[in-house]
Amino acid sequence: MQSHTDEPAEPTVMPSLTKPFAAFGAAAGLFAILGVGAFREPARQVAPLAPMIITAGAAAIAGEVLGRWRRLQDPKLAREALVLWVAVISAIAGGASGAVVGFVTWGADGCMRFGLGGAVVSLAFVPSCLVVFDAARRAGRARHGSLVAATDRRTVLSTVLAGISFAGATQVPAVLSANTSTALPPLVQVGLSVVACLGSTIAIVLLQKRDRVARAELEAHAGEMNWLERAPLDGELDTSTPPTQEPIDLGLGADRWARTTDATYRSSARSDVVLRGSMERAVAAFDECALRRHRSLVVAAAGLTAVCVSFALRLSVFL
């Protein structure tokens, strides 16, 4: 009989959100304090390194909470409830990081003011947090090491990069109004946004290139489907000799596809399983991820364009 180890593996759990949220939080903390400087004089006096580090830590804790809270991963949970809880956690993280930044900069007098401001500003990043959370939740649907699992994780990374680019574009009002930080030269402040947006755009393009290579591999396997036969999940198979190759795991579905010959049937009941999973579901997952990665690229390119145009408009005033 087929051994227990031959049974289809269960999908992996949702990947950790600690590192993605920490990276996004660092960018949000840095550019939020620079962007708020367009409207609030006290924000211009804050050293940008402190909010970047503090917000990265607060966001990492928020990501850990979101990743471990099983109720939020329940497919039956209403979308409105999910949005509400993500907003609440984001506001708490933003308020806590703002309070710490206020204390570091102004002492006890700055805790309440910066804490409230951090909670309010964090709400602007709730849509980005939701997109990252949704991408990570989808990344738990496929078996570890499979083709779909790999493209799902690239989607999580591209989503985080799009959020970083969005954060970089939040200081466009500061650039247009020339109300830049007193701790950074204006060109350095603009340069940080350009680097964040341009780097995110290039990284997403590279992820798309890797995904096209994986998609070509998937299509090659799809072309071989006519030469494969469905292998029984609970049938009698001879496992006395090892398979000629490790099966390629598509990641979704419990189907097993084998390459058999007449000689194989005459000699034993054994057939080599060369492919695992559902080709239709794998193709649909790749198409979905490609669409989401394209949207991430649009967001990153839009952020880069906004920063460059605002800087050009501001520079034209002096020419």
Q: What digits encode the pLDDT tens for the residues 281-316?
A: 888 999 999 999 999 999 999 999 999 999 888 887
Residue 153's contacts (CB-CB under 8 Å, 6 or more residues apart) are 15, 139
Give the residue-averaged pLDDT of 73-89. 89
Q: Would residue 66 count as lying in a domain?
A: yes
Run of H or E including 258: strand 256-259
Examine residue 217 and state whether it is found in any structural domain, yes or no.
yes
Residue 264 lies in a domain: no
229 in any annotated domain: no
Q: How far is CA 116 from the centre of its chain?
A: 28
Work out the average pLDDT over 109-129: 85
Q: Region 103-119: what's the mean pLDDT?
A: 81
**pLDDT tens digits for range 205-263:** 999 999 999 888 888 877 777 777 777 665 444 444 455 567 788 888 877 777 765 44
Residue 249 lies in a domain: no
Q: What is the mean pLDDT of residues 132-144?
A: 84
C-alpha dihedral sign at 22, 24, 30, 36? negative
Average pLDDT over every residue of 151-170: 91
Total domains in the chain come to 1
In a domain, 154, yes or no: yes
Percentage of the chain exceeding pLDDT 70: 86
Asked if the structure places residue 155 within a domain, the reply is yes
Cα atoms in the 13 Å half-sphere on the side-chain side of 48: 23
Is 13 among the domain residues? yes
Judge whether residue 107 has pLDDT over 80.
no
Residue 133, domain extent: 4-222+279-317
Q: Give residue 268's pLDDT band: very low, low, confident or very high (50, 70, 90).
A: very low
Whole-structure pTM value: 0.81
Rg (Cα) of the chain, in Å, rounded? Answer: 25
Angle at 194 between CA 300 and CA 204, to 5 degrees: 30
Type of residue numbered 101: V
* Position 165 confidence tier, pLDDT thresholds 50, 70, 90: very high
Lowest mean pLDDT among 25-34, 42-51, 231-240: 231-240
From the number of C-beta atoms within 10 Å of its C-beta (0-12, 13-18, 19+), residue 57 rates as middle
